[in-house]
Amino acid sequence: MSGFQRIAVLGSTGSIGESTLDVIARHPDRLAVYALSAHSRMEKLAQQARASGARVVVVPDDAARQRFFQAWPDRTPLPEVRVGASALADTAADPDCDTVMAAIVGAAGLPSALAAARAGKRVLLANKEALVAAGSLFMAAVRDHGAELLPIDSEHNAIFQCLPHGDRAAAPTRPAAGVRRLILTASGGPFRDRDPAELHGITPAQACAHPNWSMGRKISVDSATMANKGLEVIEAHWLFAMPRERIEVLIHPQSVVHSMVEYEDGSVLAQLGQPDMRTPIAYGLGFPERLASGVGLLDLARWGRLDFEKPDLRRFPCLGLAFDALSAGQGACIALNAANEIAVDAFLHDRLPYTRIPQVIAETLEWHAGRPSVTLNHLDDVLAEDAAARAHAAGSVPAVAS
């Protein structure tokens, strides 16, 4: 895509949303905000809409709309305020926007990401849960509607950058020619070296203190448990049409090598950079050109060394569970993602000990394995399966804080 882009940033008040607005503001000659969306932070949404000149904002309900109006200064012309989940999907498909940044957290971001793909937009996909829950549906929508899919998750963006030019199909149906393996790197999170026996009393603040990346709370916990890397293995499977056994995970504590592609001839291509999401975001916004992102120089001499090691699946059971779910099929992936969202939310609200997170996922996967298999060809099928898995997982989580 060349020329001027009007962008809808869905989930603008989050970590990815903020970084996206930062990059957009650096390029007023070629990028403009068309729409923003938020779920709870209406004051921040109002500030962002004022600063970016957004024409549309999307909020979840009438109460949020009132709070948005209260936060809006008198005498400034209001943007159009749209309300509800269907308005999110409509905005993603709006003919007045060219590019959609899908940066809502969780499966809640699936319908709008899918709507953007079905409308043939350039889709900058940060929301990995959408692919985990509905990979085949989403990739088929990209193919069938001529959308342009650019992965924003740093590992997948790195792999995309390392793949051969001729194989940059938006939604491939087979692995790129000559590729042997994809190697996803993982920092190992804040508890990489902790004795698992010490993890029981971990607090949300400790789990969210990621050593290298500054991110939203849900993905920070996912990084600590390595459920995030598990979701990313499933994401890589769909994005690059890569079978499970050709996707490897390596712990790399410095988070400088963002991922690698190994070729049949033994060559391994890697993408390196500072751990700052503005690099993959600028790549997605500028593709195929390169845009300034505000990210500084990578000082490899300061790092001196880069370390790699195999992950220990006993220490990080969530990663093994994700590999199992990918082997079991899409229904299991939906159950894995739903259970993880429920468990992480309960942990963040002091209703579940940290060490119970993998147990809730494992129990939900077991429950799912005993269910009759269903077809998942429509969004409604996926959402119904997701709702059933959430209800089951919620049953194994206390309703009030202990």
State the binding site: 13-16, 127-129, 153-155, 187, 210, 216, 223, 228-229, 232
Which H or E run includes 5? strand 5-10
Which residues 6+ apart lie within 8 Å of 86 measured at CB? none
Task: By CB under 6 A, name the one of 5, 21, 24, 39 that touches ligand NDP.
Answer: 39
What's the first-to-final CA gap in the chain, in angstroms?
52
Contact window for ligand NDP (CB under 6 A) among 36-44, 256-264, 352-360, 376-384? 36-44
Which residue's CB comes closest to ligand NDP?
A: 14
Q: Nearest Cα to 121, choosing from 12, 52, 34, 57?
A: 34
Gap between the Cα atoms of 280 and 124, Å rounded: 10
Nearest residue (CB) to ligand NDP, 157 versus 200: 157
**Annotated binding-site residue numbers for 1-deoxy-D-xylulose 5-phosphate:** 128, 154-155, 187, 210, 223, 228-229, 232
Residue 15 near ligand NDP by CB under 6 A: yes
Q: Which does residue 11 bind out of Mg ion, ligand NDP, none, counting CB within 5 to 8 angstroms by kind?
A: ligand NDP
Nearest residue (CB) to ligand NDP, 113 versus 265: 113
Size of the site for Mg ion (CB under 5 A): 3
Contact window for ligand NDP (CB under 6 A) among 99-107, 257-265, 290-298, 390-398? 99-107
H helices within 169-245, ranges in order? Answer: 204-208, 217-225, 227-239
Residue 11 near ligand NDP by CB under 6 A: yes
Residue 17 near ligand NDP by CB under 6 A: yes
Residue 189 near ligand NDP by CB under 6 A: no
- Report yes or no: 1 and 98 within 8 Å, Cβ to Cβ: yes
Contact window for ligand NDP (CB under 6 A) among 213-221, 263-271, 338-346, 361-369? 213-221
Residue 129 near ligand NDP by CB under 6 A: yes
Which residues in 116-175 contact Mg ion (CB under 5 A)?
153-155
Residue type, 121: K
Core vs surface per residue 269-297: b (16+ CB within 10 A) or e: bbbebbbbbbbbbbbbbbbeeebebebee
Q: Nearest Cα to 228, choosing from 342, 328, 330, 316?
A: 316
Least distance between Mg ion and beta carbon 223 (Å): 8
Distances (CA, A) of 277 to 142, 256, 309: 24, 12, 24
Residue with tokens 């990621």: 210
3-class DSSP state for residue 14?
Answer: coil
Q: Which does residue 66 bind out of ligand NDP, Mg ion, none, counting CB within 5 to 8 angstroms by kind?
A: none
Which residues of this protein are in contact with Mg ion, per CB under 5 A?
A: 153-155
Which residues of this protein are in contact with ligand NDP, per CB under 6 A?
A: 11-17, 38-41, 103-105, 108, 126-129, 153, 213, 215-219, 277
